[in-house]
Amino acid sequence: MKKILLLSLAIAGLLALPRISDATIVGSKHDFSTNSWNLRQSVCGVCHSAHHTDPDQLIPLWNHANTTQTYTLYDSPTFDGSTTITQPGGASKACLSCHDGTIAVNQSASGWVTGSISGGVTNAQYVIASRQIGNDGSLHTTHPISFEYDAVAAADNLIYPSSTTLTYGVGNLAGKTINDLLIGGKMECSSCHDVHKQKGHAPNDIFMRVISNTQSHLCLSCHNK
């Protein structure tokens, strides 16, 4: 009986430990359900809708207004992807539709603001300046996105091939390859960040896909330095 009691206590203790795989958008910086402007207290509805979504579908069931910004793109004498880099699309454009500061966080594709019942943009809430990227129309000083990864890897032996298995601080990405983080073969914002905080749980809510960027684990997943 004593052994059974001790075993039960041990199991209970293990179940009480926080598990990395349980991390989700709920309670993260992308959970706006408790914000005063979010009258519907929706977690998902700020970005997604089950019906009547944005026809561009940058990401599944996308229902947020899209940025119309045209950006100055990254360029450098050492960058081998300048011939394949394009204006941000897909997941990257979705991220920038809040983070470039030109579109309200609570502005939907149809023009109304999440939390209002109807009408135009009122009580608009924007990403704070310190979290804005490309707000001046320039991505020139930001890590390049929307370029063909394999083209760069083929031209630069300091970039790992996309078939390389991830090894640095990968957590629940163990066994995945760089290619699994690309979108249509392109490096995008979502290659390094998971907005739902399910696949990568670095401290400070920065949504990195690796557990920790200690010793530049994220960078060294692609860069052979």
- Over residues 203-217, the pLDDT tens digits come to 555 788 887 777 888
pLDDT, tens only, 39-53: 889 999 889 988 878
Compute how many other C-beta atoms are within 10 angstroms of the C-beta atom of residue 152: 22
Instruction: Work out the percent of the chain whose per-residue pLDDT is above 90.
Output: 45
Q: Give the pLDDT confidence score for residue 200 in this predicted structure.
A: 59
Q: What is the predicted pLDDT for the residue at 40?
A: 84
Tens-place pLDDT, residues 136-154: 999 999 999 999 999 999 9
Residues of the chain with pLDDT under 70: 1-23, 112-122, 169-172, 198-205
What's the pLDDT at 163? 98
> CA-CA distances (angstroms) from residue 88 to 29, 33, 78?
23, 28, 21
pTM of the model: 0.82
pLDDT at 112: 66
